[in-house]
Amino acid sequence: MRGMARSSPALVVGSLGLDTISTPFGSVSDVLGGTSSYFSLSASNYTDVQVVAVIGNDFPDEYRRVLESRRIDLRGLQVMDGRTFRWAGQYKFDMNVAETLDTQLNVFAEFHPRLPEDYRQTEFVFLANIHPSLQLEVLDQVRNPKLVVMDSMNFWISSSKDTLTDVMRRADIVLLNDGEVRQYTETANLIAGGRAILDLGPRAVVIKKGEHGALLISRNDGVFVAPAFPQEEVQDPTGAGDSFAGGFVGYLASRGDTSPEAIRRAIIHGSAIASFTVEDFSVRRLERLTTAEVLDRYATFRHLTQFVDEGLEVGA
């Protein structure tokens, strides 16, 4: 079966920006950030990646080269007069929660995605957490999607829920964190919340739970639970979710496969890649990540969840 699989590129439309981050382990200023950076560096371990995003003319060449040194195609990158999108945040004792200190949209405020002609044929599409109306603009440009995976965020859930629901109706897989699922569905229980989103049309909902791993709720495949990699020292959690998405979509695109079995494996790949991202600030760990390391960590995930069966009789 594997020999028959055709590797496809993955398309991401999302933010590209400069981050200023403080954690208990250190701080960095104006480093490479944004969903598209983490996603594309992660997915490039598996397949070619096409990026549609916007930067200002202050975006460092050095960061462009970080991306171009991998299998990342930047022809969809728009350069506008003005400053690049910036985000500043900090993490305290509980590294699960980022406190946003500052967000400057800058050129991102004027962004409308324009896909180069050949990107419109791309079959594996990731809609990062941009405004849902921009997500719809992307869907109106792609001609041949085999798998549309979408993310969103608390701000759009509260301010643009109807438009966001329109995107969900057209997506194959909805990728959200646990808080976003609870907020969108107004349901405390994640399984019930996931099923409510399935009712809108998607085949599957993948719920990212940070240190608690990820949960798949699937129309055809029931529930699947993936652990997070057990890490004693998380340096910087920024980008973990976007890296998960990159490993997830990148793996599926590399296999040209959207079967339930492939989706389960893709979640493990997403978890594996995300576990590297948080080991260092910004995209530093992804820059030096090797295929051998990815494979090794994937194998570790099997050991994490395996329990050998003996006979099942009880009450002996």
- Residue 53 CB, shortest distance to a copy of itself, in Å, is 23
Structure tokens at 299: 């194998």
Nearer Cβ to a copy of itself, position 61 or 94? 94
Nearer Cβ to a copy of itself, position 102 or 315? 315
Nearer Cβ to a copy of itself, position 196 or 200? 196
β partners of residue 42: none
φ, ψ at 25 (rounded to 5°): -105, 0
- Residue 228 CB, shortest distance to a copy of itself, in Å, is 8
- Residue 297 CB, shortest distance to a copy of itself, in Å, is 11
Rounded Cα distance between 28 and 62, Å, is 16
Structure tokens at 110: 């004027």
- Residue 304 CB, shortest distance to a copy of itself, in Å, is 5
Q: Compute the 3-state secondary structure of the chain and give helix, strand, coil in percent, each to the nearest 5.
A: 40, 25, 35
Rounded Cα distance between 159 and 313, Å, is 54
Nearer Cβ to a copy of itself, position 81 or 232? 232
Cα of first residue to Cα of last residue in the chain, in angstroms, is 43
Nearer Cβ to a copy of itself, position 101 or 192? 192
Residues that bind a copy of itself (CB under 8 A): 1-2, 7, 45-47, 93-95, 188-192, 195, 209, 211-213, 215, 217, 222-227, 230-234, 251, 254, 261, 264-265, 267-269, 291, 294-295, 298-299, 302-316
Give the number of residues written for the chain.
316
Q: Compute the chain's Rg from CA coordinates.
A: 19
- Residue 10 CB, shortest distance to a copy of itself, in Å, is 13
